[in-house]
Structure 1
Amino acid sequence: MSVMLPRASAVALALSLAGLLAGCGDLPQPFAENPGAEALRLATPPPARLDIPPPAHALLADAQAQQWSQALADSLLLKEVPAVAQPARKGDWHLVVDASLEGDQVVPRYRIVSPAGKVRASANGTPVPADAWASADPALLKANAQLAAAQVSTMLTGIQAAVAQADPNSLLNRPTRIWFTGVTGAPGNGNLELARQMAVLLPDGHNTLQTTARNADYTVSGHVTISKPDRASDGVQHIEIVWTVQNAKGHEAGKATQLHDVPAHSLDGYWGDVAADAAQEAASGIHEVIANNEGRPHPPASGS
């Protein structure tokens, strides 16, 4: 279902702070060609609860069907899907599973059904040799349930993408409203320069910037930490800029961190192009965090 990070976790983006000082040499720019492609993980908030009834038509005995549904529920829980191995209850989403014999293989089929009884997504599972399926070995059932969990999780993501695309108020169909609270912790005029550059770069075709927290979809803030020089003269300072993105509920949606070493005291005064370079890379990362939380990369699922 849509893309929010899993509970108690966040997207970490390793960003280099390119071009901090003239003459420092060429530094890597991970967002230059494919912004934020690495280390991004899409998390999907699924239905409030997904019931996994023991499959009655999956060519399994009752005891093995119960083992399989429990193994699937356990595997889905590891993927942050609140699944429960129980009969379908009123008001819950549920998973219907059956299986058919095709030649010498058993092919499972999964259907996700809404509380209204509508099939919202369906897919065939990984075929299993018929003799192995008939043996109902616990290890085989567990391995098959893990494969099924991956498919079901993807199906849920597609369902949410379809719902979001059909909703005119969805973030897929209107600009995202960002409240940027500014930057803290920088020496010299870093707070001001970084904030000024970011205020220019955050608005784009998908995102708008607003001046209050009211009705904001995401809140973005920056914080700079810089170490003391390694030596009193011509030493090195370690700089870290952390850009935190929070969703409308105040939960962390993602974080972009920039790390670099700079000559001691080189940022005590005017940041200039340093702020421009840092904000350019960080804005790309922030855009990518928001896009992934909104689920833009996922095509809608098709039911059957």
Structure 2
Amino acid sequence: MLLLAASTAACGPLPRPFAHEKVNALVSDQRALAPLAVRRIDGAPGLAEALIQTLNQEDIAASPESAGDGFLSLSGKIRSENGTVQLIWQIIDGDGRMIGEFRQPLPPGSIDPARNPQFVQSATRAVIHALRGDDSGTRDLEAAPKVAVWTVKAPADFDGDALSRAMARALGLKGLAVVSGQAAFVVTGLLRIGPTTGGQAMVSIDWTVRDAKGHDLGTVSQSSPVAQERLLGPLAALLRDIAEAGADGIAEVIRSQRPQTPPEP
């Protein structure tokens, strides 16, 4: 169990037990804000990376890897059918269900679709339509506070990047629009691991929320003894537990504030 406490400059301590609560989202369909893992495409080097960049510009939290079951997955396969070479895209949810599929003809003679801006933009629009519907999720995203999650500072043998992605996923499921560029709010994390005693080590993390001008709005602190084998083995479940435990407090800090002008990158 992770113990969690939050404090803000405005409203004082916010004690919060570790609990998996139902999502209290700003949007009716969580696919509009769910993080998206874009898989590399065989035969199209660099295309996944180019698509991640354009999706991030459209406020979709896309990355090369997932950090939990809440991530959606986008994969593509090149197929030749009836003399036409196509890229077949599929979007899969965390339970393995296909929630979207679309096909893109490859430009004639193309050997590097990643360098074709029109092709990348066409794929981006198709993904947005699959996730957000006809209105492209504009109303949902306008209502959702935009937040950037920076890489967690952690010991060298702990995957701070993966924890950042897990928190991005957890905040997305709370109805926040997690973006990679300018945002009204920035979340940073500092994780510490204490000495091992009796097969367990104390894991502590402070999540700090800042506004666009760099002012501290509040800190959500978590700590718990964690079995050594959990720290040495696959971290996905532990990262998900940490992120889900801290997301409520972070979301509360953010929603208690009025959005500011986005900071300079």
Instruction: Establish whether TM, by shorter chain, passes 0.5.
Output: no
Q: Name the TM-score class by shorter chain.
A: 0.3 to 0.5
Of the two, which has the highest radius of gyration? Answer: 1
Q: Which has the higher strand share?
A: 2
What TM-score, normalized by structure 2, do the two folds share? 0.44
What TM-score, normalized by structure 1, do the two folds share? 0.39
